[in-house]
Homo-oligomer: A and B are copies of this chain.
Amino acid sequence: MSDKTPLNIGMIGYGFMGRAHSNAYCKVGNFFDTKYQPVLKAACARSQESVQAFADNWGYETIETDWRALLERDDIDAVDICVPNNLHREIALAAADAGKMILCEKPLAMDTAEGEEMCQAVEAAGVANMVWYNYRRVPAVSLAKQLIDEGRLGKIFHYRSVFLQDWTISEDLPQGGEALWRLDVDAAGSGVTGDLLAHCIDTAIWLNGGISTVSAMTETFIKERTHQLTGEVQKVGIDDACAFLARFENGSLATFESTRYARGHKALYTLEINGEHASISWDLHDLHRLSYFDHRDDSLVRGWRSIHVTDGDMPYMDKWWVPGLQIGYEHTFVHQVADFLESLETGEPASPTFRDALETQKICDAVLDSAQSGQWTEI
């Protein structure tokens, strides 16, 4: 690996996403032949003890307890923002100002206004930027994109997507704090809309183009929860569930739904797209498979095909094992890092950029507005 160009990473945060990204930085060089090699230069978080343990576990060379100090370091090339949503904007603006590349967790921001400010900052600074909508890099989803772009589906009539979970059904679950900030509206901005539907929307607009108008409803089933930090019972400000109708710019219709109250589903992110000639569906619970139906098949043997996306001619899969042997969730991040590193070589930005992710932010905002107003809302 000695002849590779190091790319020094400064990681801010050490939670679930901090782990997933760190793993990706570690692995990418073993499997992808890129010019740049991520180097785990520094990990940063407020708790010295926690961040030191994290750094030891992953091999970060140094730690910081103040992200501003991290940004001042000359030995940091790229900053990875893995903190709650309400901190994205401030760090990103400062990082852009410091000339650092930025890899930011999704959703981009608390709202469109923040997101627009962030886009302008990175664009003005001219720094490479990317948002971690990792599901674009599931090989089966990348394959879907390829099939759609090749025109195999023909004119698109329908899109539908859900992201169903069941982990917040208990009334005893508190909100807020380290592990549960996603339930605290002040930290997260919204509930399932920004956390889960944002994934559905990002993939949808990548596969099927822009959304023009939405009609939404949201619900908060459990109205009050104890806050972990304050210890007090407080109003729950997030949406526990959200569903919306949409029309795409290409004339197709869509339904989207997300909830954390769908018993039996841990992380059931599904999508389906129906075209004139063919249809595709996919399911995160079996992420290594893609379902495909082609009406042009001989009618006697026409049916949904279950494609085991593990062959070398399928997206990213020549890097891994042999046909039939599946990869998992964490590989989506490895692929995204690989594409980011490649973008540094080619100068062609790796998607989704901040600007790409802003589009999802706008739709999330429109969805929440529509749920509030009870009106169809234009994007």
The interface of chain A, by Cβ under 8 A from chain B, is 1-2, 16, 20, 22-23, 26-27, 29-30, 56-59, 143, 146-147, 152-153, 157-158, 160, 162, 164-167, 169, 215-217, 219, 221, 241, 243-245, 247, 251, 253, 255, 257, 259, 261-268, 274-279, 284-290, 292-295, 297, 299-308, 310-311, 313-314, 320-331, 374-376
Complex CA–CA separation, A369 to B275 (angstroms): 28
Which chain B positions have C-beta within 8 A of A259?
157-158, 253, 274
For the complex, what is the distance from the CA of A192 to the CA of B342, rounded to whole Å?
40
- Which of B27, B244, B301 is A292 in contact with, Cβ under 8 Å? B301
The interface centre, meaning the residue of A164, A302, A325 with most chain B CB atoms within 10 A of its CB, is A325
Closest 5 CB pairs of A and B: A267-B324, A266-B324, A264-B293, A303-B307, A303-B305
Q: List 21 contacting pairs A-B, 8 Å CB cutoff, sorted by A.
A: A30-B58, A157-B221, A157-B241, A157-B261, A158-B262, A160-B257, A221-B251, A259-B274, A263-B276, A263-B295, A266-B310, A266-B322, A266-B323, A267-B323, A268-B324, A303-B307, A326-B326, A328-B331, A374-B375, A374-B376, A375-B375
Name the prevailing secondary structure of the A interface residues.
Answer: mixed
Kindly state the separation between the CA atoms of A348 and B50 in the bound complex, as whole angstroms. 33
Apart from A158-B262, A166-B274, A169-B276, list 8 A-B contacts with CB within 8 A: A157-B169, A157-B241, A157-B262, A264-B295, A266-B310, A266-B325, A268-B324, A326-B328
A36 to B286 alpha-carbon distance, docked (Å)? 34
Q: Could you say which of B2, B285, B300 contacts A308, with CB atoms under 8 Å apart?
A: B285
Task: Tell me the bound Cα distance from A269 to B97 in angstroms.
Answer: 54
Which B-chain residue is minimally distant from A306 (CB atoms)? B303
Distance in angstroms from A176 CB to nearest chain B CB is: 18
**Nearest chain-B residue to A157 (Cβ)?**
B261
- Shortest CB distance A173–B (Å): 13
Partner of A326, one of B276, B285, B297, B307: B285
Taking the nearest CB of chain B, how far is it from the CB of A349, in angstroms? 26
Among residues of B, the one whose C-beta sits closest to the C-beta of A169 is B276
